[in-house]
Chain A
Amino acid sequence: MICTKCQELLSDYIDGALELGEQVSIERHLADCEPCRAMRDDLLQIVHFSHQLPLQAPASSLWPRIQSDLTELRPRLWDRPLRWWARVRSFNFNLSVPQMIAGAATLVIVISIGVIVSRRDGAAINSDTATRLSQVTPLSNADLQQLEKQINKLSDSVEQRKESWDPELRIAFERNLFYVDQTLVECRHQLSDNPSDDVSQELMLNAYREKVRLLEGFDKF
């Protein structure tokens, strides 16, 4: 497979929309092509960030409103805002002193309740995170380096043996290695977004161990 073809199919590949044959061809190409791997990682990053965007569902009445606004905008652009401003200006804001005091008091109470609730939630989350952090083995740089060293050594060994394998076995290995690498990329993204996320740390450490297990398993062939 050539790079242009690979890059053309990468998006479908990441979505899992390719047939097995194409998927395997891409995986083989990716194993040997650094630029295409970089592009795959970039696409994974985009997918990752787009998943984090909040879902904004428009109200059902939005389209009719836009349509009517567009109809009104067509003759004169500033007609409607001017009409709205005129309507606001026509309101009678004459309030008595007790009404003003009552309004201000209501505003203060609402703001105070909001502040108290948000602080309490924050404290609960913090204590919860602290409890869980104490239960999880922290992922130190030394741990990571040790695992990566082990993985590199095993990868070299497996790469040397791979050529002599049955094609079906090689495909299975490359497919599963891709899944693990994809997971590690996702874990890294999540940790770069939130370095103190203990669950992501735990998952990443586990994914590294899984990669070691995979490579050790295939190193026996």
Chain B
Amino acid sequence: MVYRSNTRLRMSIWAPIILTLCLIATSVASSGATCSADSPSRFERTYSPHHAAHLTISNVNGKIHVVSWDKKTITARVNAAASVLIEDEVAGDDITISTKRNLRLGRADFEVCVPPDTSVIVKNYMGDIEVRGITGHVSVTSIGSDVRLVNVKSPSVDVRVTSGDVYFEGELNEGGSYSLQTMKGDLDVTLPAATSFNLNARALSENINLGSFFSNLTGSSRGPKGVSGTYLRGGPRLSLTAYAGRILLHKK
């Protein structure tokens, strides 16, 4: 009897305390859940490669900006929806930052600063892409993106988008390969006037405007859908393919 009464006494003391703790835990958990569902997450990393790095950015939905700077480190900042999981992997000088594919289409915006000699590979589904001041290789593939390559001096550039405009402003390296393609959008290329190259331009829309480059294009074949030829001494291979859009070539 005594024992029982003591137990009842203990229970009567602990019950309100346990109940209060449960209530506090529940409220904290629920407020935390609300917070994580609404507020965006932020991913921020700095990488220190030993040599020229190979950076791969793989995103689904959101803009990607890659800009060169004068430091030897790579800094990546990603503002993403809470539902987006961002992963990174480093193997020597190969760095991969990717968003995990998810049934919920959360947005993730990348701002990345890299040394100029970094090779950059960008893969995206939706969202604009901009790459500035890179001297390493550049490869961009996307489904629906406007792509801007500015002040690019790469030995090779490969851009493929299904829908979106592609803008290239930069220099072509001797012996380099430059391939730009869009199915639904314009290709706009600006090159220094003294650049030599071998051109292969294809436009299903029959809308190719080479501006003043055309007059000095030698050995050229010109059909309504395609122009091929050598500008000045030739050298770098410039391949431009547009389907439902224009090809525009300007002198800087």
Contacts and interface: CB of A to CB of B under 8 A. Distances in A.
B221 A207 contact: no
Interface string B38-61: 000000000000000000000011
Contacts of B228: 132
Contacts of B101: 220-221
Given A199-B225, A221-B101, A175 B144 contact: yes
User: Chain A at the B interface: mostly helix, strand, loop or mixed?
Assistant: helix
A218 B144 CA distance: 12
A203 B163 contact: no
- Chain A, interface size category, equals 20 to 34
B105 A176 contact: no
A125 to B, nearest CB: 9
B105 A217 contact: no
Interface residues of B, number: 27
A180 B183 contact: yes
A203 B241 contact: yes
Interface in A67-82: none
11 contacts: A169-B125, A172-B143, A176-B144, A176-B163, A199-B223, A206-B241, A210-B162, A213-B162, A214-B162, A221-B101, A221-B103
Given A132-B221, A175-B163, A179-B162, 12 more contacts: A166-B103, A168-B61, A176-B162, A176-B184, A179-B184, A183-B204, A190-B225, A203-B202, A206-B181, A210-B162, A214-B143, A217-B125
Interface of A: 128, 131-132, 164-166, 168-169, 172-173, 175-176, 179-180, 182-183, 186-187, 190, 197, 199-200, 202-203, 206-207, 210, 213-214, 217, 220-221
